[in-house]
Amino acid sequence: MLSVGLTGGIGAGKSEVSRLLQSYGAVLIDADRIAREVVEPGTPGLTAVVEAFGPEILTAGGALDRPRLGSIVFADSERLADLNAIVHPLVGARSRELERAAGADAVVVHDVPLLTENGLAPLYDLVIVVDAAPETQLDRLVGRRGMTESEARARMAAQATREERRAVADLVIDNDGPLEDLEPQVRKVWAELTRRISARPAAGTPGPTPSP
């Protein structure tokens, strides 16, 4: 198995890269999706979040009010750290469970938005960073996601810098350009991932015999 960490700043295009890698054959473990699952109604995760932030972060139906919680944590780094301390261990445990279920010859891609921020790079065999200039990120967040400029800047400021992400990267995918420029890059990365796993000795294969 090859364990790959995939990350990138908000608006960099990481989700499209993960979609392409999955279409080529990768086993995708999406930390954002798992993070939603571990705070669904009735879970210990949601109970812990309510204890930390109060019942006002719940909808009338008892689910997590994500926009309201986001407005709190992305404006206060200490509150964001409080939330991460609750959710990240739960996400990590579920991610490890899913990875163990993958086949021995699988390329397992962990889509982890806050990989750099939480010092998770050593957990993976290699790290892929989807990179885009801050100006590109801002344009996408405002133009495609409908955020206000101040909201987009707050979300970006709560994440690692471009330089910090690139510092932990083994492979970088440049996504400053149009979508049609992305796919050829991702296909090259997939070829590299499959080459690496093919070069590994099969489980149980003896290593070289030491010289006498």
Can you give the residue ranges of every domain in the chain? Answer: 1-26+106-199, 34-104
DSSP E strand stretches across 15-125: 27-30, 107-111
> Quick check: 204 pLDDT over 90?
no
**pLDDT digits 0-9 by tens, 137-169:** 999 999 989 999 999 998 899 899 999 999 999
What is the percent of the chain with per-residue pLDDT over 70, rounded to a whole number? Answer: 94
Predicted pLDDT of residue 202: 60
* d(C-alpha 163, C-alpha 148), whole Å: 25
154, amino acid identity: A
The model's pTM is 0.80
> Quick check: 212 pLDDT over 50?
no
* d(C-alpha 151, C-alpha 19), whole Å: 26
Predicted pLDDT of residue 120: 92
> Quick check: 203 pLDDT over 60?
no
**pLDDT digits 0-9 by tens, 129-144:** 999 999 999 999 999 8
3-state secondary structure of 36: helix
Query: What is the pLDDT averaged over residues 67-85?
Result: 91
* d(C-alpha 48, C-alpha 87), whole Å: 9
* φ/ψ bin of 49: left (φ > 0), alpha (ψ from -120 to 50), beta (otherwise): alpha
For the domain covering 1-26+106-199, report its CATH number: 3.40.50.300
Of residues 138, 123, 29, 39, the one with CA closest to residue 84: 39
- Of 4.10.780.10, 3.40.50.300, 3.20.20.70, 3.40.50.970, the CATH number of 34-104 is 3.40.50.300
Query: What is the pLDDT averaged over residues 23-34?
Result: 94
**pLDDT digits 0-9 by tens, 32-55:** 899 999 999 999 999 999 999 999
> Quick check: 207 pLDDT over 80?
no
